[in-house]
Amino acid sequence: MNRSSRNHALMGWILILPALTVFVLMILYPFVNSILISFTDRNLIYANAQFVGLENYRKIFSDINTLKLIWTTCKFVFFSTLGPFFIGLIWALLMNQKFKGSEFLRGVALVNWIIPGIAIGFLWSWIFNGDYGILNALLVKLGLLDHNVIWLGGKSTSMLAVVTARTWQMFPWYMAFIMGGLQGVSAQQCEASRIDGANNFQMFIHVVVPAIKPVLTLILILGAIGNLQHFDLINVMTGGGPERATSTFATEVYKKAFKEYSLGRSAALGVVWALLLSVFSGFYLKRIQED
């Protein structure tokens, strides 16, 4: 390597060093450390820990609740991805019509996404509260209910509540991405399809969707990854209950570490969670490479 290319390489290293340092300190080191902790009986209260091999993993896979945890996580990810996706898609198509006030509506819709997740969790906890929530009050007033429903106390209603809150939070994000994709749809192709006699639905399916398919695939994958990692709303609204009906990997790792103080078990659960995440990350990386 001659001097010029060595200097060139050195300059490259200097430029990426800050980002590399942050990556190592904030991501790589904690990740590797977590894997190491998962092989110990490390406890939050006691400083010392002993190597226990695969004991934590054995306990996780022999726990009757692990399968339920995986299923509940998949349920949450599925509904919390598709729900806001379809609402965001409809909203984006509407906003793309550029009617009077569409810019304002688009801005207002983004407010949901800007509000911190914890604040949204408290907001929807109040709405769904069984004793003084506005939802019960509204439904009783409309004659649709004759008694208060404890929304956050039922297995299916609690999942419905957290998915609703998450949908409300995230549909602006999907909307923003889809709107960006819609700008790339060829106006001439749309006009041509109209001339050929296509109705709105046919134009949407045969012209718009193929044009925005890369964006749709990308946001579905990213949305699923985001929901797999999501913690705030569920922790605030239900804490993973009742009866673990809303327990996902995120809440379970938190509970194991900070409520049951079992860092080793929590780390092992985190490793299993990371493996699940890596499946989606693989799809994402493959998608990027194809592009």
Partner 1 sequence: MRKLTVAVMVFAMAVSSVFAGGAAEKAVVQDGMTFSNWSGSEKASSEIFTWMIDSFNQKSPAEDKVVQINWPWGDTESQLAIRAQGTEQYDVAQIDIRMLPALAQAGVLADLTGVFGADFFTKNFSEGSVSVGNFKGTQYGVPWTVAPMALITNTKILKESGVDFPIVTIADFEKACEMVKTNHPANKDSDLSNDIIPYAAMTKDSGTAAPDFMVWLWTFGASVYDAQGKSALNSDKAVSALTWFNSLMQRGYIQKVMSRGDARTLYKEGRVAFYDDALMSKGAITNEAFGDISNYAFPQVHPVLAKGDKPQASGWGHLLVIIDRSPKKASAKAFIEHLISEEVALKYFKENGMLPSKKSILSNDAVTSDYWSNAWTPVLAGGRLAETAGPQYAAANAVILEEMQSMLSGSKSPKQAADAMKSRIDVL
Residues that bind partner 1 (CB under 8 A): 13, 20-21, 24-25, 28-29, 32-33, 43-47, 130-132, 136-137, 140, 147-148, 150, 152-155, 238-239, 241-244, 255, 258-262
Least distance to partner 1, CB of residue 238, Å? 8
* Residue closer to partner 1 (CB basis): 226 or 241: 241
* Residue closer to partner 1 (CB basis): 89 or 234: 234
Sign of CA dihedral 271, 277, 278, 281: negative
Least distance to partner 1, CB of residue 21, Å? 7
Rounded to 10 deg, the angle between the 64-95 and 102-114 helix axes is 160
Reading the block at residue 86, the tokens are 């379809």
Check: CB of residue 214 under 8 Å from CB of residue 262.
no
The DSSP call for residue 28 is I
Least distance to partner 1, CB of residue 214, Å? 29
Smallest CA-to-CA distance from 236 within 139, 146, 138, 169 is with: 169
Q: Distance (Å, rounded) from C-alpha 162 to C-alpha 34?
A: 29
Least distance to partner 1, CB of residue 53, Å? 18
Residue with tokens 């060595």: 6
* Residue closer to partner 1 (CB basis): 31 or 99: 31
Residue with tokens 């995986």: 70
* Residue closer to partner 1 (CB basis): 45 or 114: 45
**Residue 51: beta bridge partners?**
40
Residue with tokens 């906003």: 95
Please enumerate in sequence order all residues whose Cβ is within 8 A of that of 247, keeping only pairs 6 or more positions apart, or say none: 65, 68, 69, 72, 240, 241, 255
* Residue closer to partner 1 (CB basis): 47 or 275: 47
Least distance to partner 1, CB of residue 179, Å? 38
Least distance to partner 1, CB of residue 206, Å? 44
* Residue closer to partner 1 (CB basis): 47 or 195: 47
